[in-house]
Structure 1
Amino acid sequence: MTRMARLVSSLQAKGATVMPKVSWSPDSRWVATYLGEHIRVSEARTGIERCRITVDEVPRSLAYSPDGKWVAAGFGSGMSMVFDAATGVLRYRLVASGASVSWSWDSSWLATGSSEVVLVFDAATGGLRLGLPAPSSPQEVVKTLAWSPDSRRLAVGSGSGFFPPPPDLGGVRVFDAQSGAELSRSAPQSGSVTSLAWSPDKRWIATECEDGSAAVLDADTGALRTRLIPPSATVIVFRTAAVAFSPDSERVVTGGADSLARVFDAASGVEHCRVKHAGRDIYSVAFSRDGRWVATASDRWVLGAEPEQESGGVVFDAGSGTKLCLLGDCADAKFSPNGRLVASAVQGTVRIFDPDVVQERSRLTHGGPVNAVSFSEDGRRVATASDDDTARVFDADTGGELVRQAHNGPVLTVAYDTPLRRIAGGGRDGVVRLCDAETGADARQLQHDGAVGTLAFSEDGLSLATGSADGTARLFDATTGSQRFKLVHNGEVETVAYSRDGKRLATGSADGTAGIFNARTGARNAELVHEGAVRAVVFSFDGALLATASADETARVFDARTGAELFRLAHEGAVRAVVFSFDGALLATASADETARVFDTRTGAELFRLAHDGVVRAVAFSSHGRWLATGGADGTARVFATATGAEVLRVAHDGAVGAVTFSSDEKWIATGCDDGTARVLAAPARQ
């Protein structure tokens, strides 16, 4: 199975539905894109916005100037505009110029194209330099254009503007960029030329047409050099078509509506490899700077198609066709000029990937849904609990199984006791089992009269609190296994949590109450009342606050010493999980209303609302508080930046994700999924 590329950053616009285009700055530091009524320039590795300009319509094309100073955009209304890439200040507008924009490689000229005309402007002033002759037939329109690498020539691809298209109405004309004189004209092509690319050595032009055909033409004469793909019997007007040369001019990659990306020898037309995509269309293709890899943009939208785990764009080996990594569904994908990153664009989002870095460290396999995950303190081990009647310990690096703890029913919860190197697993059989995390040797079995769905070690590992469907929470000596006391609720105890100093224990129950107890004596300090089952409780790191999550569609924050309610945080669905950031400044919630939300604990104000496409089942902060991980019924684990609310990582699973946690060093994330796997993923890198 192909791994997902590591996500470096994510640029988003809420509610945006268009497929954005992306354009890299020549130094690979910045990305220009259209998102949510704005053209934005953002730093690729951090997602930090450099500037933005508000526009009234969606740009059809977007291009960074090769000198990195300007960004040009072309619009369907026929207007083009150029603005300063550093400040967003508008430089000039070009009226009735065209929707396609293309900079000459020396940044001296800007070409624009509409269906009727191609114009060339002075890039410094915006003054019109020349207009190129329109196609000779009134039925023929301009489809695409591209500058030669030396900026001396401009190639224009044309084709039919009607359906059904007349036969042999399409071709390539090459013009002198100084005089506008036509230098060469190809023979009529079998279909409209919708994509073309110059070879870096300036000798050849590769084309792909609406009928699926592809060819290499002599740039000086327009003569056919090589037929790469013959015409298709079925012409699909407006079908996607993409073509690109390798940096050494020896290979051509094509992509189109047949779901195939193919790499050919440019001279002979011999096909080196092909890569089948899950969806029908391939929107763009691009070679890496060294020519080793090809990036493609594709999605999965075929009506009635089954979900494909490996749908979307890919990066593959240009020699063998072997997939290196996945980019997810996207409509555009481009390597950075230095070849180190890939930018992909999909509705409302542009993601920056590092294709050389493995996103998934290991995959830990069970025979049933994984209900809980827990890291050892050093991040080298992961404990899991599963419906396959086992809790297990895995090597986080290799995925090798180290310990298996057998139960007589599904295991619902697990916790790692790092100080004493043990794990505790609680299951539907009503037994909590303690075993050595290194050897698997059984230490103790602790009994309830109902399923055990929650447990927690004290910070020093000497005490273990458990909660059960028998309506009790119990506190045990984790060394001897002796029960210290029993705390009784009028319903299942769904959650337990210790304060960091180990002096207090909180419980939450299906009876609609949460309790705060003295962890040494069992005396109740406070009872906190909800109007629905309490699904989660958590203390802030300093122990001053207690947060609760409830089926009554609220999360609440209490003074942990007095039990006084400080804030009530509303959702539109049951709240399933709640967690504090390490410094206590932030509180995150997960809800059945398909959102996770981040709140300010000083004021109770909602800071961010983070959307999933299904119930959000789990949330976890990294210890430095920079990232928030979520797991959802939509089959994704996601990571958001807490400073901005921007999504910085999304990893698709094959089932609902019900557990997420960070390693203490913040390098890794473990997820538990209904597909029977736990996964160890690389966390976003610190910037």
Structure 2
Amino acid sequence: MSSPHIFCSYCGFANDPGMEHCHRCSQPLFGKISNNSVPQLSIPRSRLSRRTILWGVAAGTAALSTGGYLVYRRLTDPSLLTSHLLTYAENQGGIVGGVLDVAWSPDGRRVASVAGVDDGAVQIWNATTGEKLSTCKLEQPVPGGLPTLSVMGPADGKRVVWSADGKYILAFVGPLEKPIVQVWNAANGQRVRSFPVTQLLTLPANGDGGDQLRVTAWALNARYLAVAKQFVLSGKPFVEVWDIAAGSKISTLDPTSPDPGASSRQCHRITWAPDEKNVVLGCSTEKGEDFEIWDVTSGKSISAFKKGDTTTMTAWSPDGKFLAAGTVAYDVETGHKVTTYSVEWTPFSLAWSPDGKRVAVASYRGERYWVPTYGYLSVFDASSGKQLAQYDQGRVDIAVSGMGLIAWSPNGKYLLVLNGHIDLWRMEQR
């Protein structure tokens, strides 16, 4: 049998026998109360009630304090938190694995997602609970679903973005034959306006014998839409930049190949800089891959650098000074390599944290014929390339178009990863 405890008359804490002062509040243990001193019926009723109340208050206070402390630790101590918090949008539009793009609201409270179903409807979610808040639908749904590229690949174009003030959502919707940028009120999901962009996929005027155009990449931000096109026969690429509000083209970019002997060149990646005025074009030939940075308002090339191996990932640092191409970070001004991030399996997407101190990479492996079925999420120190953490995503849905796309929350505490659905991860600080 355990030794009787002595309860403090000030805070109710249970102290070991022989203690002169309370271990919790340091008050003198006057009127020592043993846990074996159970009140008897002969004790006056008023005294029994007083002591019982004191014991109840003390026990309740201790329980509340302990419970509150444990809740506090679970909310603040990374070692007690599960890195993967929840999964949502699993059956968007009635189709499993349909989410193609996602974007955080500027305040980090909501998430907008778009799927390859529902003719381009955008869903708005509570970011940390997964509760669906509203649905933004097309005023007149356009048959044919969302735009798809002629060359399929991971994270193949930014489809949905928020306005800087968080009041509106913009999405690139409709088939390639008749695409539009639609704007909704984020508070109620009501359509505000629609902007027909252009007929992105065109045929020669005579219908035969001419050179046909195809769309190979696009990128949307809150002001502009950039669309990469290529002539099928000649292989010549160019990029059109459209002002969304005006619905007019502001410039045409003409990327030139650094390899004069290359027979064909394709721009398969467009990524907007943080200032939303510059873009990087990722283009490739049979001799390798290169990147060009352009000022979209002037239509002039700012800088270019070449990367030997093929990649489809490009990501800007928040300050716009560095560019990740694949798992290598380059200095934008000089074009020199500054950091390499070593990743297991095949990387699909990379993103800087909002403070620029960390980099997250989603990578996948396949079981047969390299169909991606198992995922990993790695976090690196952005400047040194040292791996800080690695998370096992487990088995994932096959959804090539949006697979592996990463989106950091504005405060850098959470990460969204698309695997057909939306996975919310808590990013541990190390």
Q: TM-score range by the shorter chain?
A: 0.5 to 0.7
Instruction: Compute the displacement of 1:577 (Å).
Output: 3.0
Structure in which a larger fraction of residues adopt helix:
2
Q: Is 1:533 the equivalent of 2:266?
A: yes
Change (3 A) 1:526 1:386: closer
Give the partner amino acid of 1:664.
P
Give the partner amino acid of 2:254.
E
- Residue 379 of structure 2 corresponds to which residue in structure 1? 639
Q: Is 1:680 the equivalent of 2:424?
A: yes
Q: Is 1:513 the equivalent of 2:233?
A: no
Change (3 A) 1:669 1:428: same
Q: Is 1:360 the equivalent of 2:360?
A: no
Task: Provide the C-alpha distance between the structure 2 equivalents of 1:608 and 1:669, rounded to a whole number of angstroms.
Answer: 22
Q: Is 1:415 the equivalent of 2:143?
A: no
Change (3 A) 1:365 1:606: same
CA contact (8 A) 1:370 1:678 kept: yes
Task: Provide the C-alpha distance between the structure 1 equivalents of 2:276 and 2:112, rounded to a whole number of angstroms.
Answer: 26
Give the partner amino acid of 1:610.
Y
Instruction: Compute the displacement of 1:607 (Å).
Output: 2.7
- Residue 371 of structure 1 corresponds to which residue in structure 2? 100
Change (3 A) 1:599 1:365: same
Cα deviation code 1:364-410 (max 9, x no counterpart): 12322321110000111111122343431110111111123456555
Task: Provide the C-alpha distance between the structure 1 equivalents of 2:301 and 2:174, rounded to a whole number of angstroms.
Answer: 35
Task: Provide the C-alpha distance between the structure 2 equivalents of 1:527 and 1:577, rounded to a whole number of angstroms.
Answer: 21
Normalising by structure 2, report the TM-score: 0.57
Instruction: Compute the displacement of 1:428 (Å).
Output: 5.4
Kindly report which structure 2 residues correspond to 1:300-379, keeping only aligned pairs within 5 A, or say none. Answer: 354-366=78-90, 367-379=96-108
Cα deviation code 1:196-217 (max 9, x no counterpart): xxxxxxxxxxxxxxxxxxxxxx
Change (3 A) 1:565 1:424: closer
Change (3 A) 1:517 1:404: closer
- Residue 588 of structure 1 corresponds to which residue in structure 2? 324
Task: Provide the C-alpha distance between the structure 1 equivalents of 2:160 and 2:131, rounded to a whole number of angstroms.
Answer: 18
CA contact (8 A) 2:125 2:133 kept: yes
Instruction: Compute the displacement of 1:580 (Å).
Output: 1.6
CA contact (8 A) 1:494 1:510 kept: no
CA contact (8 A) 1:471 1:492 kept: no
Change (3 A) 1:653 1:583: same
- Residue 425 of structure 1 corresponds to which residue in structure 2? 171
- Residue 477 of structure 1 corresponds to which residue in structure 2? none
Amino-acid identity (%): 15
* Structure with the larger RCO, 1 or 2 (CA within 8 Å, 6+ apart): 2
- Residue 600 of structure 1 corresponds to which residue in structure 2? 331
Q: Is 1:434 the equivalent of 2:192?
A: no
- SS at 2:354 equivalent: coil
- What's the RMSD between the two structures over aligned residues? 3.6
Task: Provide the C-alpha distance between the structure 1 equivalents of 2:252 and 2:413, rounded to a whole number of angstroms.
Answer: 38
Change (3 A) 1:410 1:680: farther
Task: Provide the C-alpha distance between the structure 2 equivalents of 1:584 and 1:385, rounded to a whole number of angstroms.
Answer: 27
Change (3 A) 1:370 1:538: same
Higher mean Cα deviation, 536-545 or 626-635? 536-545
List runs of 5+ in structure 2 lacking aligned partners: 1-72, 91-95, 148-158, 204-211, 258-263, 366-374
- Residue 625 of structure 1 corresponds to which residue in structure 2? 356
Change (3 A) 1:378 1:405: same
Higher mean Cα deviation, 410-419 or 621-630? 410-419
In the comparison of the two structures, how many residue pairs are matched? 291
Instruction: Compute the displacement of 1:672 (Å).
Output: 1.1
- Residue 260 of structure 1 corresponds to which residue in structure 2? none
- SS at 1:358 equivalent: coil
Instruction: Compute the displacement of 1:673 (Å).
Output: 1.0
Kindly report which structure 2 residues correspond to 1:113-512, keeping only aligned pairs within 5 A, or say none. Answer: 354-366=78-90, 367-389=96-118, 390-405=121-136, 410-411=145-146, 413-419=159-165, 421-427=167-173, 429=175, 430=178, 432=180, 433-447=182-196, 470=201, 490-492=213-215, 494-497=217-220, 506-511=226-231
**Residue 395 of structure 2: which of 639, 654, 661 is its match?**
654
CA contact (8 A) 1:555 1:589 kept: no
- SS at 1:643 equivalent: coil
Task: Provide the C-alpha distance between the structure 2 equivalents of 1:469 and 1:562, rounded to a whole number of angstroms.
Answer: 19
Cα deviation code 1:6-30 (max 9, x no counterpart): xxxxxxxxxxxxxxxxxxxxxxxxx
Q: Is 1:663 the equivalent of 2:400?
A: no
- SS at 2:411 equivalent: coil
CA contact (8 A) 1:580 1:588 kept: yes
Give the partner amino acid of 2:124.
V
Task: Provide the C-alpha distance between the structure 1 equivalents of 2:394 and 2:162, rounded to a whole number of angstroms.
Answer: 24
Higher mean Cα deviation, 374-383 or 662-671? 662-671
CA contact (8 A) 1:535 1:577 kept: no
Structure in which a larger fraction of residues adopt strand:
1
Change (3 A) 1:624 1:441: same
CA contact (8 A) 2:329 2:339 kept: yes
Give the partner amino acid of 1:647.
Q
